[in-house]
Structure 1
Amino acid sequence: MRRALLLLVVLAGLVAACEDKYKDPDPKAMGYDYYPLEEGDWRIYNVTDIRYMSNVGDTTRFQLRERVDTTFLDQTGALNYKIIRSVRDEEGDEWVDDSVMTVVKTELNVILTKNNTKYVKLVFPIKEGKEWVGDAYNNNLAFDYAEKVRNGKELYSFSNIGVSYDLNGISYPNTVEVIHGDYHSDDVNLDERKEVYAKDIGLIYRYHNVIVFCNQTESKDCVYGIGFKLHGHERHEELISHGKE
């Protein structure tokens, strides 16, 4: 009898351990709410895009909307969210569809596909300093000057988790930064790339600034002087409104 009771206790303990091991992860602890994703969600950004050539910047300003249109299952059975990007010159103009992206969000990561290229935008759980390969599923290679590289691919990382972020007069109380590039060399290259996500909202700011300065390789004897921008691309996407249809 004692042996039977002991066996039952052991079995009960094993069942409880298994249930605890395989229970669903806590969404808040994992950071899923930094990337909300539902049909009808939309976000509008003010975009400033600057193309540099021979130290002259050509600036274009417009508005960009990303709207979660529909969902579908792909060949692997994964749920895909179809996101339509539209543009207009300024508020009040008609939106013109520009491109289509798809997003798959799982318990492990968020994968965005744009122009037939996949990017790992986030990984879970979100933790300070955590690194991953954003280009794990495409052919992109790291820049020669990249400092954090794994198997020839540049590493992304989390920073400033849970801190407030001020943008266009609005303070977002809980955000996380995803660092894509962080390299400074005034006499050769500048590479600053990051995205900022706000809890329960999603992407609020995308920053891209990659500049090649006058240098011995691309301009013999650097005749224009240090700090001269041979070519580059600077882009800011700032959230101005968001909602759900």
Structure 2
Amino acid sequence: MQKSIGFCLILLGWIGFSSCGKESVTLEDGTLESYVNLQPGKYIIYQLDSLVKVPFNDTAFTTRSYQAKDLVDTLITDNLGRPSWRVFRYLRPLGSNDESAWEPSDTYYITPTRSDLEVVENNLRFQKLVYPIKESIYWFGNKHINTTPGGPLDFLDTWEYNYTEIGGSFAPFDVPVDSTITILQTDQGSGFADDYNPLDPDQPGYRIYSIEVYAKNIGLIYKHLLHFNYKARTLNGSNNPVPPYPDGNKDGGAITLRMISHN
């Protein structure tokens, strides 16, 4: 099964995995809102690595890296009449310490309720967390998104989220962060040898993987999302590859978001 490419819509919103202390427990000492920090002026700074396709190349990709700053602005009312927090996203060059270098990138919205925590990005509503927090809980976090087969967002279809790590520590870089929860959003594919490379250049394939990690009283500290769709090369009667894609054609991309600091 191949997925059509709508990944750029997700990637434009953002222009190694390690954990320990796995506990199969239910967290009863807090609400979903305790896994974000929704106060005006609160921010998280990330390293954002974006894997994008090289122009005029059928299979090559390159990594573009930035610092991203997500700043909580104010409480508003969403289009369903619920209290929702507006968050501004800024980007600046990786390694920069110049506060004047931040450039506005995007705005998104976080809506906490008693039963779930929703995030709206690029007019797409994701159900990021649900209550109760325990490893037996599964939910379709993209159920509010139009994932019609053949449409630009069909790769978001049938994502079944679940909690895989609860209460342990997670290291976005070298320093572990305590009291985290890990959500595996999807892990699917066919015809890929690993996350990035097709198994056989003569066979089509796709790979979709997405995971997020939240820390108590901080928010999102890690995100890794990748989506690739490979169209096999075409061979002639002599079993030689022919144009237009002599090496096949791979579309998609990936983003990795790792927290650097927060206030």
Q: Tell me what 2:84 maps to.
A: 80
Q: Tell me what 1:118 maps to.
A: 125
Confirm or deny that 1:127 pairs with 2:134.
Answer: yes
Alpha-carbon distance in 2 for matches of 1:206, 1:35: 14
Alpha-carbon distance in 1 for matches of 2:81, 2:230: 47
Percent identity, please.
24
3-state secondary structure, aligned to 2:147: coil
1:141–1:177 distance in 2 versus 1, CA, 3 Å: farther
Confirm or deny that 1:237 pairs with 2:251.
Answer: no
Paired residues in the alignment total 208
Alpha-carbon distance in 1 for matches of 2:73, 2:128: 20
Q: Tell me what 1:11 maps to.
A: none
3-state secondary structure, aligned to 1:236: strand
Alpha-carbon distance in 2 for matches of 1:166, 1:76: 36
Q: Tell me what 2:63 maps to.
A: 59
Shift of 1:30: 4.5
Alpha-carbon distance in 1 for matches of 2:148, 2:185: 13
Q: Tell me what 1:96 maps to.
A: 103
Residues 162-204 of structure 1, C-alpha deviations (whole Å, 9 max, x = no match): 1221221111122111112212432312222111111221100
Confirm or deny that 1:177 pairs with 2:178.
Answer: no
Alpha-carbon distance in 2 for matches of 1:156, 1:133: 6
Q: Tell me what 1:22 maps to.
A: none
Which structure ranks higher in relative contact order (CA pairs < 8 Å, sequence separation ≥ 6)? 2
Which structure would you say has the larger Rg?
Answer: 1
Q: Tell me what 1:160 maps to.
A: 165
Q: Which runs of 5+ in 1 are unaligned?
A: 1-25, 144-148
Q: Tell me what 2:234 maps to.
A: 220
Shift of 1:58: 2.1
Structure (1/2) with the larger strand percentage: 1
Alpha-carbon distance in 1 for matches of 2:136, 2:124: 25
Structure (1/2) with the larger helix percentage: 1
Residues 113-158 of structure 1, C-alpha deviations (whole Å, 9 max, x = no match): 1222211111111111411111222213589xxxxx9xx6422111
One-letter identity of the residue aligned with 1:85: R
3-state secondary structure, aligned to 1:137: coil
One-letter identity of the residue aligned with 1:126: I
- The answer to which of 67-76 and 35-44 deviates more is 67-76
2:209–2:226 CA contact under 8 A, matched in 1: yes
Shift of 1:74: 3.9
Q: Which runs of 5+ in 2 are unaligned?
A: 1-26, 151-155, 193-198, 200-204
One-letter identity of the residue aligned with 1:123: V
3-state secondary structure, aligned to 1:28: coil
One-letter identity of the residue aligned with 2:221: I
2:168–2:180 CA contact under 8 A, matched in 1: yes
2:32–2:117 CA contact under 8 A, matched in 1: no
TM-score, length basis structure 2: 0.70
TM-score, length basis structure 1: 0.75
Alpha-carbon distance in 1 for matches of 2:114, 2:220: 19
Residues 193-238 of structure 1, C-alpha deviations (whole Å, 9 max, x = no match): 11111122110011012222353xxx335949xx977222021111
